[in-house]
């Protein structure tokens, strides 16, 4: 067994005396599709922010791909191969769909090139087209991102993350606000993506999680309540008590 791609050990973060995340540890093995669930305010997003470097942990370490990334700036973490898609859609609103993805695609090899036109770099263009194909937006390549439908914007958001060729993809509620059919399509997409990239996701829709995750962590008031396979989560009494009842 190889080393887990992401290890979080004893992560802790408090805001003004309130523990948003309290001594949480995670281990995400290579190739996993790991989900984090928990009611509102249970610390999921803070946990993500601790991993990505948006927030500095009060205590604990984060290791990514064999390297300590605790407190590293977000852009540097991203360069190491950790990409994130956002809970509140975050794309480049006034750029075309193609350019949105292309920006991400060029990050790997051509970040700070200023002596040749970007559109002339074949490898980047090819990779962009491939990603657009994958997220099903190839037909909308010249549309201004903010003119896309909500569902398409969410997929574009995912596409941007994907185009950086990450080794670990963090998805923050990828199906939020989507219609059932859009949700189904996204679920398929996530499953497909998981074939070559490790995924760590936050999700509210229990049916979504149960159908795709291979391991689940339940957070409650900033603490890890339970971790296990989907079927174990379903049957765990405490989880049912604090989370499942009333929300589905």
Partner 1 sequence: MTHLTTPSATDGTPTAGEAAVTVARLSGAAPARWTWGQLGLLVVLAVVVLFTVPNPSLAIGMLIYGLWAAGLNLLVGYGGLVSFGHALPFAWGGYAAGLTLLHVSSSAWLALLVAVVSMAVLSALVGAVCLRRTEVYFSMLTLAFAQLGFFIALQWDDLTGGDDGLAGIPVPTLWLPGTTVELNALRDPLTFFVVTAVLVLVVFAGLILYTESPMGRVLQAIRESEERARGCGYSTRLVQLATFVVAGAVAGLAGGLFAMLNNFVGLQPYWLLSGVVLIMVILGGRSSLFGPFLGAVVYLLLESTLSRYFASWQLIVGAIFVICVLAFPQGLWGLLTQTLPGLFRKRRRTR
Least Å distance, CB 31 to partner 1, is: 22
5-34 mask for partner 1 (x: CB under 8 A)? ------------------------------
Q: What phi and psi, each to the nearest 5 degrees, are found at residue 178?
A: -95, 150
Compute CA distances 91 → 74, 95, 96, 206, whole Å: 17, 9, 10, 26
Instruction: Tell me if 144 contacts partner 1 by CB under 8 A.
Output: yes
Place of tokens 């996530």: 190
Place of tokens 């991102």: 145
Write down the H helix ranges in 27-96: 44-52, 74-79
DSSP reduced 3-state for 87: coil
Please state, as a whole number, how many other Cβ atoms lie within 10 Å of the Cβ of residue 138: 14
Residue 209 parent element (H or E): helix 206-212
Residues 97-126 that bind partner 1 (CB under 8 A): 99, 102-104, 106-108, 110-119, 121, 124
Least Å distance, CB 125 to partner 1, is: 12
Question: Number of residues in contact with partner 1, rule: CB under 8 A?
Answer: 49
Asked if residue 214 lies in contact with residue 186, where contact means CB atoms within 8 angstroms, the answer is: no
Instruction: Tell me if 146 contacts partner 1 by CB under 8 A.
Output: yes
Closer to partner 1 by CB, 106 or 186: give it. Answer: 106
Give the one residue of 59, 65, 125, 176 binding partner 1; rule: CB under 8 A.
176
Place of tokens 């190491």: 80
Closer to partner 1 by CB, 150 or 238: give it. Answer: 150
Instruction: Tell me if 177 contacts partner 1 by CB under 8 A.
Output: yes
Place of tokens 């398409």: 152
Instruction: Tell me if 155 contacts partner 1 by CB under 8 A.
Output: no
Least Å distance, CB 110 to partner 1, is: 5
**What does the alpha-carbon distance between residue 68 and residue 7 come to, in Å, rounded to a whole number?**
9
Least Å distance, CB 27 to partner 1, is: 24
Closer to partner 1 by CB, 203 or 215: give it. Answer: 203
Least Å distance, CB 45 to partner 1, is: 9
């Amino acid at each position: 067994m190889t080393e887990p791609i992401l290890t979080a050990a004893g992560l802790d973060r408090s805001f003004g005396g309130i523990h948003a995340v309290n001594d949480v540890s995670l281990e995400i093995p290579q190739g996993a599709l790991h989900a984090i669930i928990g009611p509102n305010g249970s610390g999921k997003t803070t946990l993500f922010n601790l991993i990505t470097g948006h927030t500095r942990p009060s205590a604990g370490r984060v290791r990514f791909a064999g390297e300590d990334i605790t407190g590293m700036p977000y852009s540097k973490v991203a360069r190491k191969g950790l990409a994130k898609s956002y809970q509140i859609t975050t794309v480049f609103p006034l750029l075309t769909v193609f350019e949105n993805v292309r920006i991400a695609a060029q990050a790997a090899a051509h970040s700070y090139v200023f002596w040749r036109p970007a559109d002339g770099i074949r490898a980047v263009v090819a990779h962009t087209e491939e990603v657009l194909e994958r997220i099903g937006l190839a037909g909308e390549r010249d549309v201004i991102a903010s003119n896309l439908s909500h569902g398409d914007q969410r997929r574009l958001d995912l596409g941007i993350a994907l185009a950086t060729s990450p080794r670990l993809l963090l998805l923050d509620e990828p199906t939020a606000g989507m219609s059932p059919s859009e949700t189904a399509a996204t679920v398929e997409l996530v499953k497909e993506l998981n074939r070559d990239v490790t995924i760590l996701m936050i999700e509210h829709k229990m049916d979504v999680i149960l159908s795709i995750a291979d391991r689940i962590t339940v957070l409650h008031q900033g603490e890890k309540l339970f971790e296990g396979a989907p079927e174990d989560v379903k049957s765990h009494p405490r989880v049912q008590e604090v989370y499942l009842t009333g929300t589905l």
